[in-house]
Structure 1
Amino acid sequence: MAGPGTFSDEPLTPSGRLFLQPQTNVVIHCIVRGKNPFDIDSVKSAVKSSLMVQHPRFCSLLVRDKNGFEHWRRTQLDIDQHVIVINNRLDKSGNFLDESQGFSRVEEEEDDDEAAVNQYVADLSVSSPLSTDKPLWELHILMAHKCTVFRIHHALGDGISLLSMLMASCRRADDADALPRLAPEKTPEFKGGKGRDWFWLFIVIWGFLKMVWFTLMFVTEFGIRSLFVSDRKTVIIGGDGVELWPRKLATARFLLEDMKAVKKAIPKTTINDVLFGVVSSGLSRYLDHRTPNALQEGLRMTGVAMVNLRAQPGLQDLSKLVMGNSEARLGNKFGVILLPVYYHKGGNNPLEYLKRAKTMIDRKKHSLEAYFSYRIGDLVMSMLGPKYASLLNYRLLCNTTFTISNLIGPLEEITIAGNPVSSIKVNTSSLPQAITMHMLSYAGRAEMQILVAKDIIPDPEFLAKCFEDALLEMKEAAIGTYKA
């Protein structure tokens, strides 16, 4: 460890302190599956030379001073402490198999292989917090499954900044010298014209009035939902203490081409609109299966969604990110919005779910709900401290049904430590909700990790299929509208 005075301690950001509280102690998991077994030496070499370990937070211990305030303190990084190699194969329950049980049959079953990794990560999400005796990240290499699991504490950064940091260690499969592309470049459009200034002035004023109205409405709802009002009880809702319950993890798979085909059915629809329509339809399907004819039509289930507040959401100039002078600096800069979905019995037009989702999300886009949620959290942290900020955040999660996020991943296939990557998935450690969903796109596909409390939702694989079937049904309906 560096001696006293070698480095000055850096205080944690308000968001960093929030994510270290017992009730909101969140770890981000990124599952990277290779097409070939990973070479340990190559992985360690890639980590040692990466921009990630050059960033002070990845080389710092969490310490507390005599007043209980948290600080980052630089230390000498020992890669061997952070790279954990698992040589044994796992079964579908996440238990280690003996060589005498024979691996050849299991290796041929891709679904069993993924189920084993999912259960390993699900167990980590409840029972294995990161040790404060070393910087708050780990890399688990599951040799028999050709898979690595990055575990990074949320206090180090949010999904956008950490994904950018990870991608800095990767290269495109079709160009070994090129960094991955995370989002297509867009050329800003200029609207307006001579003689039409009055029209654009009207649009600006009308947009401002809508922004004020929707912001007041949604921020008020956000406060009430955080303090008093809870979703009605259903078979999929969690609550106080559920974050400690055992977990299961399943994966829903989508093709981006299918999602794009659906969004063409309704003008100005986005992939996020489609995703939320799929979630709304899928949850209704699942509830029909679990509690047929037992729920009231239009029953509300509230989701908590993360919104990136950075000006540039794509892969940034990573040297600037590491030095801390980029707008996309490493850390947590996201707001929260509430996204309600409503139960509807089967037989509805699948595109109705999309229309409702788009209408609701469009209203959210016209508001400053995400920005205000971020500022309110900072204000509570500054005035009342992390204990009360954590309590407010915890109550919001207890009063809602699920958490959801969507990240844009690499557009093309990539390599890490020279190994071509077949899939990338993300999730977080458990929350008091019974369902958390995190989707990440990669090379034309999108995979959504569904982490559930298994005593509440014992069949997450069926829930994943409900989402997959919902998208396919929407696609068929969308194609029907084209032909009509």
Structure 2
Amino acid sequence: MSIWKVMVLMWHTLVDVLLFVATSTFLKDTETPLKGKDGVGFHRKRFIHQDLSLDDVKLVKNAIGCTVNDVLVGITSAALSRYLNRRYGEMDGAKEKKNLPPNIRLRTTMLVNVRKNSGIHALAELMKGGGARWGNRIGYTILRFPVAMFEDPVDYIRKGMEVAERKKNSLEAIFTYASSIVIVKLLGIKVAAALCHRMLSNTTVSFSSIAGPVEEIGFYDHPLVYIAPSVYGHPQAVTLHFQSYMNKIKLVLAVDELTVPDPKRLVDDFVESLKLMKDAV
């Protein structure tokens, strides 16, 4: 690695760490119709899941020359933009195509596996009692979704690729993983939990994308039709999970009904965003 790349890596890491600390203390996302209010973690949640075609996602991926995750981030950015644009239009009674206010800060907290060797090989070492360690080795990274109404739907993916490429040149996830261990040891689990709660409260959505089995699997001879993971209890109004299984991607949406009273329309925005991207390529 050249000296210039090392300097860029250090600079990006420094900026990301400062933003992470700021988010854990005072830096909040824009108050949008998707931002949960105080106490949202205790509200009743509505869980909805929707199938997306993995072949369609791969078609877009191959046409643009990116990854599946890049496409999913682009779809999410497009869907959230469409939903917010419609909600702002309904609130203002406007009929324009573009109702979004400028410079919306809408971010997600993403979990990143910081193991050097993830997957089956590390698991095999664990089973043999090798050098791999049990337990989670997960760091946080904060990703900002572009929120805008682009004429070309593929621009959502391009913007997402820029953000993702920038995050790849940063050690933010490793820093947050290491700092969480230090904070727990020095200040205790309550302080660490309070900082984590504040960070989640100051961002808007949770987002994850997990690659699942490519062939049908079963549980005690009962075939699994789909896999739809989700969570409950964290202080955010919107949680998004993408879970691939065989030739489909399951979109799992968990929302606070007081914040998002029309979750089916939000799911439809994801479906429509993928369709527009497929048609555009």
Whether TM-score is above 0.5 comes out as yes
Q: Which whole-Å CA distance do the structure 2 matches of 1:456 and 1:291 have between them? A: 13
Q: Which whole-Å CA distance do the structure 2 matches of 1:242 and 1:324 have between them? A: 43
- Of 309-318 and 275-284, deviating more is 309-318
Contact 1:409–1:441 (Cα < 8 Å) also in 2: yes
Q: Which whole-Å CA distance do the structure 2 matches of 1:467 and 1:377 have between them? A: 34
Choose from 25, 30, 47 the match for 1:249: 47
Choose from 272, 278, 281 the match for 1:475: 278
Corresponding residue for residue 251 of structure 2: 448
The alpha carbon displacement at 1:322 in A equals: 4.9
Matches within 5 A, 1:194-213: 204-213=2-11
Q: Which whole-Å CA distance do the structure 2 matches of 1:217 and 1:468 have between them? A: 35
Q: Which amino acid aligns with 2:84?
A: L
Q: Aligned pair 1:315/2:120, yes or no?
A: yes
Choose from 107, 116, 135 the match for 1:331: 135
Matches within 5 A, 1:220-299: 220-267=18-65, 269-292=66-89, 294-299=99-104
The alpha carbon displacement at 1:275 in A equals: 0.9
Corresponding residue for residue 92 of structure 1: none
Contact 1:304–1:404 (Cα < 8 Å) also in 2: yes
Choose from 141, 145, 148 the match for 1:341: 145
Q: Which whole-Å CA distance do the structure 1 matches of 2:185 and 2:124 have between them? A: 31
Q: Which whole-Å CA distance do the structure 1 matches of 2:178 and 2:258 have between them? A: 36
Contact 1:322–1:330 (Cα < 8 Å) also in 2: no
Contact 2:86–2:99 (Cα < 8 Å) also in 1: no
Q: Which whole-Å CA distance do the structure 2 matches of 1:464 and 1:338 have between them? A: 23
Corresponding residue for residue 85 of structure 1: none
The alpha carbon displacement at 1:330 in A equals: 4.0
> Is the alpha carbon distance of 1:430 and 1:361 closer, same or farther for their aligned partners in structure 2, counting shifts above 3 Å?
same
RMSD in angstroms over aligned alpha carbons?
A: 1.8
> Is the alpha carbon distance of 1:324 and 1:306 closer, same or farther for their aligned partners in structure 2, counting shifts above 3 Å?
farther
Which string of whole-angstrom CA distances, capped at 9 and with x for unpartnered residues, describes residues 20-72 of structure 1? Answer: xxxxxxxxxxxxxxxxxxxxxxxxxxxxxxxxxxxxxxxxxxxxxxxxxxxxx
Q: Which whole-Å CA distance do the structure 2 matches of 1:211 and 1:246 have between them? A: 42
The alpha carbon displacement at 1:232 in A equals: 1.4
Contact 1:435–1:451 (Cα < 8 Å) also in 2: yes
Which string of whole-angstrom CA distances, capped at 9 and with x for unpartnered residues, describes residues 117-152 of structure 1? Answer: xxxxxxxxxxxxxxxxxxxxxxxxxxxxxxxxxxxx
The alpha carbon displacement at 1:415 in A equals: 1.5
Structure 1 unmatched runs, 5+: 1-202, 479-484
- The alignment of Structure 1 onto Structure 2 pairs a total of residues equal to 273
Q: Which amino acid aligns with 1:291?
A: Y
Matches within 5 A, 1:371-386: 371-386=174-189
Q: Which amino acid aligns with 1:396?
A: M
Matches within 5 A, 1:83-482: 204-267=2-65, 269-292=66-89, 294-316=99-121, 318=123, 320-322=125-127, 325=130, 327=132, 329-345=133-149, 348-478=151-281
The alpha carbon displacement at 1:255 in A equals: 1.7
**Aligned partner of residue 342 in structure 1, secondary structure:** coil
**Aligned partner of residue 120 in structure 2, secondary structure:** coil
Q: Which whole-Å CA distance do the structure 2 matches of 1:317 and 1:467 have between them? A: 35
TM-score by length of 1: 0.54
The alpha carbon displacement at 1:289 in A equals: 2.0
The alpha carbon displacement at 1:324 in A equals: 5.6
Q: Which amino acid aligns with 2:165?
A: D
The alpha carbon displacement at 1:285 in A equals: 0.8
Q: Which amino acid aligns with 2:13?
A: T
> Is the alpha carbon distance of 1:315 and 1:444 closer, same or farther for their aligned partners in structure 2, counting shifts above 3 Å?
farther
The alpha carbon displacement at 1:300 in A equals: 1.8
Corresponding residue for residue 95 of structure 2: none
The alpha carbon displacement at 1:319 in A equals: 5.8
Larger Rg: 1
The alpha carbon displacement at 1:211 in A equals: 0.8
> Is the alpha carbon distance of 1:317 and 1:357 closer, same or farther for their aligned partners in structure 2, counting shifts above 3 Å?
closer
Q: Which whole-Å CA distance do the structure 2 matches of 1:253 and 1:298 have between them? A: 32
Which string of whole-angstrom CA distances, capped at 9 and with x for unpartnered residues, describes residues 194-225 of structure 1? Answer: xxxxxxxxx63332222111111111111111
Which string of whole-angstrom CA distances, capped at 9 and with x for unpartnered residues, describes residues 227-260 of structure 1? Answer: 1110111111014311000110111322222111
The alpha carbon displacement at 1:368 in A equals: 0.1
Which string of whole-angstrom CA distances, capped at 9 and with x for unpartnered residues, describes residues 359-387 of structure 1? Answer: 01101011001100111111111111011
Q: Which amino acid aligns with 1:237?
A: K
Q: Which amino acid aligns with 1:402?
A: V
The alpha carbon displacement at 1:309 in A equals: 1.0
Q: After TM superposition, where is structure 1 displaced by more than 6 Å over at least 4 residues in a row?
A: none
Q: Which whole-Å CA distance do the structure 1 matches of 2:273 and 2:34 have between them? A: 18
Q: Which has the higher contact order (CA 8 A, sep 6+)?
A: 2
Q: Which whole-Å CA distance do the structure 2 matches of 1:257 and 1:324 have between them? A: 39
